[in-house]
Structure 1
């Protein structure tokens, strides 16, 4: 069994719709009622949620967006690059990993509503955590459609083609 297969087994990870592997590891017992949330949320949300997320090889996290900020934390592996197209159409990338002297960080926040995806920096694997506040709900998740993103951001054609599935 490879190291990645061991991690997937030990952490009981399952396939994620955006690519990679995940498992929710925390969901607060308390929630924020709809009246306490911005109108973009359709109901109550847990105070916070957190998952393990693993990417390997040439697999990628496809462009998607959620209604909350998402804090990414690096745990293990070869590093990861988060690709972001922000609300104004600007593209940026942030490297996560254990080598700050090589421009890698241990965490990064993706702002609510920004399109983002991820790739493994060296083709190996990366194990990260993602924390969402207020807590994640699949009602808050939108997978990008290639043609829609290309119409909105034609200047980012190459990365959109690389990090979309349809």
Structure 2
């Protein structure tokens, strides 16, 4: 089965190489057919009000961000800037995530895995404070990110790779379910859950 991202951008031929060359050389048809990519599916457009509402909701998870068109095949980077008043609230996506420290204060990433484990990662450059430059989160891991405010800069910037073809969906955990699974992390869950 061809992945949809490949099928949407590929061209196929229903003949042998020999028959295709023969057609090219003679200009005559020997039954070869060219199959081009499917026409892109038209996605419904949001109204101005719907877009404004969506942007307001997204700011809870990605307070200040920029997505770069980039040149990396298969993905593009997103740069996320957070500060004390604008953390990234608990959310997950359906693909793996590679998080990297960029600039500013260290960032603390709180991770709640699908198999019931909690851990936190300090993204930064100070190895004496157990900071790492980057880490990988499995698909479905709920994360929240806050600045460590350890260098007096006032913000943290981190980056993540977004795979091409993702639908941009963000999944928000139910606070009551997280509290049942992770009672020891009540303070973190309360601070970084979406306010209803």
Q: Which of 2, 7, 20 matches 2:63?
A: 20
Residue of structure 2 in register with 1:81 after alignment: 108
1:106 equivalent to 2:130? Answer no
Q: Deviation string for 1:11-32 (max 9, x for gaps)?
A: xxx97341421111136797xx
Q: Matches of residues 1-166 of structure 1 in structure 2 within 5 Å? A: 16-26=59-69, 47-122=74-149, 124-133=154-163, 136-139=166-169, 141-166=170-195
Q: For 1:27 and 1:116, how far apart are their aligned partners in 2?
A: 25
Q: For 1:77 and 1:152, how far apart are their aligned partners in 2?
A: 33
Highest RCO, 1 vs 2 (Cα 8 Å, sep ≥ 6): 1
8 Å contact from structure 1 (residues 70, 130) kept in 2: yes
- Give the TM-score of the pair, scaled to structure 1: 0.71
Q: For 1:112 and 1:127, how far apart are their aligned partners in 2?
A: 22
Report the RMSD for the aligned CA atoms in angstroms: 2.5
Give, in angstroms, the shift of residue 163 of structure 1: 0.9
Give, in angstroms, the shift of residue 110 of structure 1: 1.2
Structure 1 stretches of 4+ with a deviation exceeding 6 A read 27-30
1:78 to 1:88, Cα distance in 2 relative to 1, 3 A:
same
8 Å contact from structure 2 (residues 60, 87) kept in 1: no
SS of structure 2 residue aligned to 1:66: coil
Unmatched 5+ residue regions in structure 2?
1-55
8 Å contact from structure 2 (residues 60, 194) kept in 1: no
Which stretch of the first structure deviates more once superposed, 147-156 or 91-100?
147-156
Q: Deviation string for 1:13-55 (max 9, x for gaps)?
A: x97341421111136797xxxxxxxxxxxxxxxx223201000
Q: Max radius of gyration: which structure?
A: 2
Unmatched 5+ residue regions in structure 1?
1-13, 31-46
Q: For 1:134 and 1:19, how far apart are their aligned partners in 2?
A: 18
Q: For 1:144 and 1:66, how far apart are their aligned partners in 2?
A: 11
8 Å contact from structure 1 (residues 27, 135) kept in 2: no
